[in-house]
Chain A
């Protein structure tokens, strides 16, 4: 029976191996990214990227909007039940506005996208691996990283921040509904309060986070797909682990980012 130290060591090594592969893949993709850019790159890759953007972004919009509305209501109601006791109901506006732009908008989006698109990346690339399509790409003198990964990463980098902004908007809108029905605060006034409570820094912090989340989701999804060995059952396992790992890493990254912003700005 292997002892505890042995298991811990092996686990650590395999996790380090995973992080290492992720970094190598990120670097390779960044180098292959030029081909996916419009005008300077290859127009086929750009077309593929636009296609992916619609897939990741537009198709997820209804779901993300609903998710953000619900979370907005939850946040407002939970906040209100406490704040009402201090007669500080108007702080609900700050709570929702700041909470969404800095935190909930990007996080909710990332979780939705990792469930929808991270798993899709893993399944698509895993299937390509099983059916030898990745090998076919290589022998046809294509770079799989440039052909498959770069458009997906570029699309995620564009679509996820856009979705985050949408999530922010819908979350704050839900807060507005709550305030209207509970205190008859007009929407125009509500949005004026919202704009005065958030600063540009909050928005940028949120967008920076969502860029990081997009990176994590796209690369974990693609790496899980590329690591598929064997048959269709391996594809299934890779999609599961893509969602689990990327959601986990998104939340860890969020904690790190929030800590950095907290200690840097003190806000």
Chain B
């Protein structure tokens, strides 16, 4: 049984269809990578899965609870089993790193402070930041922030880990470290991970399953090999990094011609 099941989800912003009847199953214990270009709807899908927005129609169930229809209390319960690392890390700037990680533990559990300190230290050690707990987010580098966000996402031992663009804006070495971290988490904690990215290398390194999103629809879902063998032109274009409309002089010249024409027409009126 899938741990996250997205069924016929339709999302519209001001009449513009962003997600168009999307179906997606995420199996427990696997790393699913959501791959897609800018504007393909992957961030929107993520916000839907996290329950930050509600779809126009369709349903999303997480561990059997339909989060598009459940009460706020049930939604909170579901959210406790999901750890999220946002694209911008979204660490609380007023709190130190360890307080960031400890926040949910302090407020949602009745654990003793000494136990919480121990858990926080462990989570920070997992991402390699154990000795930086006293620092504030603004004192960290981009890669450290992302790792800290992962540590915070792991605080409540979630069954599902959601990572939004973990390698965006990082140098290749740090990005590769994060990939290894995600694989390590899967192997050690049997965690289910949903990773949203547009980085091909990273996607093919970590994924058990890849879902390719284009214009609000899933183009292809499958293992790495299946995606590599997929013959859909858009998939091929994405994998081979072919530009959509190559910039060349004749095109520019024709644009210029049309612009001049338009100006003349306006002038006549």
Contact = CB atoms under 8 A, between A and B. Distances in A.
**Chain A to chain B: the 4 pairs with minimum beta-carbon distance, closest first:** A136-B90, A132-B90, A141-B79, A141-B76
Give chain A's interface residue range (CB within 8 Å of chain B): 10 to 19
A14 B88 CA distance: 32
Contacts of A44: 106-107
B107 A139 contact: no
Contact of A136 (B47, B84, B107): B84
Nearest to A51: B94
A217 B80 CA distance: 34
A135 B52 contact: yes
A140 B76 CA distance: 8
Nearest to B103: A140
B90 A131 contact: yes
A135 B88 CA distance: 11
B82 interface: yes
B15 to A, nearest CB: 18
A140 B108 CA distance: 9
A59 interface: no
B96 interface: no
Contacts of B88: 131-132
A138 to B, nearest CB: 6
Given A42-B107, A44-B106, A44-B107, A138 B90 contact: no
Interface of B: 47, 50-52, 76-77, 79-80, 82, 84, 86-88, 90-93, 103-104, 106-108
Interface in A120-176: 127, 131-133, 135-136, 138-142
Contacts of B87: 132
A266 B209 CA distance: 77
Contacts of B106: 44
A141 B83 CA distance: 10
B104 A141 contact: yes
Contacts of A138: 50-52, 79
Given A135-B47, A136-B86, A140-B79, 18 more contacts: A131-B90, A132-B87, A132-B88, A133-B90, A133-B92, A133-B93, A135-B52, A135-B86, A136-B92, A138-B50, A138-B51, A138-B52, A138-B79, A139-B50, A140-B103, A140-B104, A141-B79, A141-B80
A145 to B, nearest CB: 12
Given A135-B52, A136-B84, A142 B90 contact: no
Contacts of B76: 141
A131 B92 CA distance: 9
A192 to B, nearest CB: 48
A10 to B, nearest CB: 16
Interface in A44-65: 44
Interface in A27-55: 42, 44
Contacts of B104: 140-141
A135 B79 contact: no
A138 B93 CA distance: 16
A141 B86 contact: no
A132 B92 CA distance: 10
Contacts of A142: 107
A135 B90 contact: yes
B21 to A, nearest CB: 25
A138 B78 CA distance: 12
Nearest to B107: A44
A133 B88 CA distance: 9
Contacts of B91: 133
B92 A139 contact: no
28 contacts: A42-B107, A44-B106, A131-B90, A131-B93, A133-B90, A133-B91, A133-B92, A133-B93, A135-B47, A135-B50, A135-B52, A136-B84, A136-B86, A136-B90, A136-B92, A138-B50, A138-B51, A138-B52, A138-B79, A139-B52, A139-B84, A140-B84, A140-B103, A141-B76, A141-B77, A141-B104, A141-B108, A142-B107
A114 to B, nearest CB: 22
B263 to A, nearest CB: 23
A131 B164 CA distance: 13
Interface string A53-93: 00000000000000000000000000000000000000000
Contacts of A136: 84, 86, 90, 92
B43 to A, nearest CB: 11
Contact of A139 (B82, B93, B108): B82
Nearest to A133: B90
A132 B80 CA distance: 18
Contacts of A140: 79, 84, 103-104
Nearest to B164: A132
B149 to A, nearest CB: 9
